[in-house]
C-alpha cells in the first residue's frame, strides 16, 4: 500500500465518523434547522433530578456515575406529584406486576375491640397470711420436743414441746395463792374484801394465759393445786412445720424462734409482667396455672394483688395470684406457666404489627391511595395485642395499608422525599424570579 492510498483511507474514515456523529447527535437539528426535544432517561424525555447508587440508596450524584463495582447509578425522575402538593412527598408508584414480584402484601385497617391473654412464668410460694411463727413469752429451757421433724403436718392445738421456766413456776404459785385466798373470802360479808380477792384471782389467771399456758394445764392446776415444772406449747393453727429452731436442752428466750408452721391449703403464685402488659390486668382477673410435673392438670385462681412497684433488675411488675391447694399438689418454690385472661378491653383502629415502621422518633406506615400508588403516613400508635397494633392517629378504619414488603417501598420513598425537598426550593426561586420580572 502506497502513501496516497493510505491518506485516502484515513480521509474516508474521518468523513464517516463525522457524518455518523452529525446524524446521531441529540443536541443539534439536521432536518430543517428546528431544535429537537431533549432525550433524557426519564419517561417524558427529561433529565433526572439525581442519580442514585444501586447498592446504597443513601448515596446520590448530580451526574451519571458508576459505583465501585462498575454498576451504573439509577436515575431518579421527577413525577407529576413530586413537590407540587398533589400527593405527599415520598409517594411511590409501583407497577402491579412488580408489586407482586417484590412481595408486597396489603391489608385493611379495622375498627375492633380487643382483649388479651397474657402468658408468663409464676413461682409458687406460701400464703403469707397463713404463716405462723412461735416464740416463747418467757426465758426457759426445752425439756422435750413432741414434734421434732420439719415437714410434719400438725393440727390446731397439737402439743409441740414442753419447757421449764422459773417465771412460769412462780406465776403458777401466785395463781394457787390467789385461788386459796378466793376460796376463803368468796363468802365474806364485805363486798370490798370479796371483790379484791376475785380481782386478784382473775389477774393471776390472766397472767398465765398471757404466757400462753395451755388451757388443759390451767384446769389441771385448778384441780390438783400442784405446780407443774414443765409447761406445754401447742400449735396455734393447722399446717406443715417448715422450721424448728430449737432442740431438746436448748435455752430459749422470747427472741428464740421455736417453730414455723405454714398452712398450705391455699398458696400464692407470684408472676412477672412486663410494663406494657400491666395496663391489661386488674384485681379479680382469672388465671390458669399448669405445672410441668403435673401434665394434663390445670389449676384456676384469681389475681388478688398487683404490686405497686417494679423489679429494678428485670423491669417487671409482680402480680399475686391465689390458688386453692386442698390436695397439696402445689408446693412452694415450684415454677409453672401462668395464663391470665385479662379483663381489660380496648377499642380502636388496628393494623398488623409488622405494618408499622419505627425509625428513631418517626413512626410511619404506607397507605395505598390508588392501585399501585403508596403514600407514607406518620402515625401515633397505642397498645399491641394478638399481633395487632392500635393506630391512634394517622389512619382511618377501612384504609388499605402495606403489611409486607414495606421496607423496599420505604427505601424508594425516602429517595423521592429527598428529591421533593430538592425540587421545592428550585420552584420557589423560579416563582420569585417571575414575580420580579413582572
The per-residue pLDDT for range 390-412, each reduced to its tens digit, is 888 889 888 988 888 767 776 66
At 370, the pLDDT band (50, 70, 90 cuts) reads confident
Instruction: Give, for 173, the enclosing helix (H) or strand (E).
Output: helix 166-185
Q: What is the pLDDT of residue 8?
A: 46
Exposure class string for 147-169: b at 16+ Cβ within 10 A, else e: beeeeeebeeebebbbbebeebb
Q: What is the pLDDT of residue 124?
A: 96
- By DSSP bridging, strand 140-145 and strand 251-252 are antiparallel
Could you give the CA distance from residue 410 to residue 368 in angstroms, rounded to a whole number?
13
Q: Is residue 84 part of a domain?
A: no
Do residues 334 and 427 share a domain?
no
Do residues 151 and 204 share a domain?
yes
Do residues 50 and 31 share a domain?
no
Tell me the average pLDDT of the chain: 81
More confident: 83 or 389: 389
Residue 167 phi, psi dihedral angles, 5° rounding? -65, -35
Do residues 277 and 328 share a domain?
yes
For residues 262-280, average pLDDT: 92
Contact 426, 101 (CB under 8 A): no
At 307, the pLDDT band (50, 70, 90 cuts) reads very high
More confident: 436 or 411: 411
Could you give the CA distance from residue 218 to residue 214 in angstroms, rounded to a whole number?
7
Q: Is residue 106 part of a domain?
A: yes
Asked whether residue 6 carries a pLDDT value surpassing 70, the answer given is no
Q: Is residue 83 part of a domain?
A: no
* Among 344, 362, 386, residue at a domain's last position: 344
> Facing residues of 234 across strands?
159
* Among 344, 362, 395, residue at a domain's last position: 344
Neighbours of 60 (CB within 10 A): 19
Could you give the CA distance from residue 234 to residue 113 in angstroms, rounded to a whole number?
57
* 90-118 tens-digit pLDDT: 677 776 666 666 778 888 888 888 878 89
For residues 245-249, average pLDDT: 94
Q: Is residue 59 part of a domain?
A: yes
* 15-69 tens-digit pLDDT: 444 444 444 444 443 443 333 345 666 656 677 777 777 777 668 888 888 888 8
Terminal Cα distance for the chain, rounded: 70
CATH number of the domain encompassing residue 286? 2.40.30.170
Q: What is the pLDDT of residue 99?
A: 67
* Among 344, 379, 403, residue at a domain's last position: 344
Number of domains within the chain: 5
Q: Is residue 71 part of a domain?
A: yes
Q: Residue for cell digits 388451757?
A: 215
In order, the DSSP letters of 40-95 are: -SSTTSPPPSEEE-SS-TT-EESS--B-TTSPBPEEE---TTSSSSSS-TT-EE--
Do residues 148 and 230 share a domain?
yes
Q: What is the pLDDT of residue 95?
A: 66
- Indicate the SS3 state at residue 371: coil
Q: Is residue 244 part of a domain?
A: yes
Do residues 150 and 216 share a domain?
yes
Q: Is residue 82 part of a domain?
A: no
Considering only 6-10, 184-188, 355-359, which range has the smallest mean pLDDT?
Answer: 6-10
Do residues 140 and 248 share a domain?
yes
Do residues 176 and 251 share a domain?
yes
At 435, the pLDDT band (50, 70, 90 cuts) reads low
Q: Is residue 102 part of a domain?
A: yes
In order, the DSSP letters of 200-229 are: HHHHHHHHHHHTT--HHHHHHHHHH----S
Do residues 140 and 122 share a domain?
no
Do residues 354 and 411 share a domain?
yes
Closest CA to 333 of 124, 130, 120: 124
Could you give the CA distance from residue 169 to residue 128 in angstroms, rounded to a whole number?
35
- Indicate the SS3 state at residue 240: strand
Do residues 269 and 232 share a domain?
no
Q: What is the pLDDT of residue 306?
A: 96
At 373, the pLDDT band (50, 70, 90 cuts) reads confident
In order, the DSSP letters of 4-50 are: HHHHHHHHHHHHHHHHHHHHH-SSS--SSSPPPPP--SSTTSPPPSE
Three cell numbers written together for 143: 425439756
Q: What is the pLDDT of residue 375?
A: 84
* CA dihedral angle for residue 152, residue 155, residue 161, residue 162, rounded to 10 degrees: -160
Considering only 30-34, 211-215, 320-324, 334-338, which range has the smallest mean pLDDT?
Answer: 30-34
CATH number of the domain encompassing residue 421? 2.40.420.20
Residue 219 phi, psi dihedral angles, 5° rounding? -65, -40
Range of the domain at 181: 136-257
More confident: 278 or 436: 278
Do residues 207 and 228 share a domain?
yes
Amino acid at each position: 500500500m502506497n502513501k496516497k492510498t493510505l491518506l485516502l483511507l484515513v480521509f474516508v474514515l474521518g468523513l464517516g465518523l463525522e457524518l455518523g456523529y452529525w446524524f446521531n447527535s441529540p443536541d443539534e437539528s439536521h432536518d430543517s434547522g428546528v431544535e429537537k426535544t431533549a432525550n433524557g432517561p426519564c419517561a417524558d424525555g427529561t433529565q433526572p433530578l439525581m442519580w442514585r447508587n444501586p447498592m446504597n440508596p443513601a448515596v446520590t450524584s448530580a451526574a451519571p456515575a458508576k459505583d465501585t463495582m462498575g454498576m451504573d447509578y439509577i436515575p431518579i425522575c421527577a413525577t407529576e406529584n413530586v413537590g407540587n402538593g398533589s400527593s405527599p412527598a415520598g409517594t411511590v408508584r409501583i407497577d402491579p406486576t412488580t408489586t407482586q414480584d417484590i412481595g408486597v402484601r396489603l391489608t385493611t385497617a379495622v375498627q375492633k375491640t380487643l382483649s388479651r391473654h397474657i402468658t408468663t412464668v409464676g413461682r409458687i410460694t406460701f400464703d403469707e397470711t397463713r404463716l405462723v411463727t412461735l416464740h416463747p413469752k418467757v426465758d426457759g429451757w426445752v425439756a422435750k420436743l413432741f414434734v421434732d421433724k420439719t415437714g410434719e403436718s400438725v393440727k390446731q392445738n397439737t402439743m409441740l414441746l414442753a419447757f421449764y421456766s422459773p417465771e412460769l413456776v412462780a406465776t403458777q404459785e401466785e395463781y394457787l395463792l390467789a385461788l386459796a385466798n378466793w376460796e376463803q373470802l368468796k363468802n365474806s360479808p364485805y363486798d370490798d374484801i370479796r371483790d379484791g380477792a376475785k380481782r386478784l384471782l382473775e389477774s393471776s389467771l390472766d397472767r398465765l394465759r398471757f404466757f400462753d399456758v395451755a388451757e388443759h394445764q390451767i384446769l389441771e392446776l385448778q384441780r390438783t393445786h400442784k405446780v407443774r415444772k414443765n409447761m406445754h406449747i401447742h400449735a396455734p393453727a393447722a399446717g406443715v412445720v417448715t422450721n424448728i429452731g430449737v432442740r431438746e436442752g436448748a435455752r430459749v428466750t422470747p427472741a428464740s424462734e421455736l417453730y414455723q408452721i405454714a398452712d398450705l391449703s391455699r398458696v400464692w403464685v407470684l408472676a412477672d409482667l412486663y410494663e406494657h402488659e400491666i395496663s391489661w390486668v386488674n384485681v379479680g382477673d382469672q388465671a390458669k396455672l399448669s405445672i410441668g410435673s403435673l401434665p394434663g392438670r390445670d389449676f384456676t385462681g384469681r389475681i388478688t394483688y398487683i404490686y405497686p412497684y417494679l423489679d429494678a433488675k428485670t423491669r417487671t411488675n409482680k402480680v399475686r395470684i391465689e390458688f386453692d391447694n386442698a390436695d397439696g399438689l402445689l408446693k412452694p418454690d415450684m415454677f409453672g406457666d401462668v395464663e391470665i385472661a385479662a379483663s381489660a378491653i380496648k377499642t380502636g383502629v388496628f393494623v398488623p404489627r409488622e405494618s408499622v415502621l419505627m425509625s428513631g422518633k418517626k413512626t410511619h406506615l404506607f397507605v395505598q391511595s390508588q392501585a399501585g400508588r403508596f403514600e407514607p403516613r406518620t402515625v401515633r400508635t397505642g397498645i399491641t395485642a394478638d399481633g395487632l397494633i392500635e393506630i391512634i392517629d394517622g389512619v382511618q378504619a377501612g384504609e388499605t395499608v402495606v403489611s409486607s414488603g414495606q421496607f423496599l417501598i420505604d427505601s424508594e420513598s425516602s429517595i423521592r422525599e429527598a428529591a421533593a425537598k430538592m425540587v421545592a426550593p428550585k420552584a420557589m426561586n423560579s416563582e420569585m424570579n417571575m414575580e420580579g420580572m413582572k
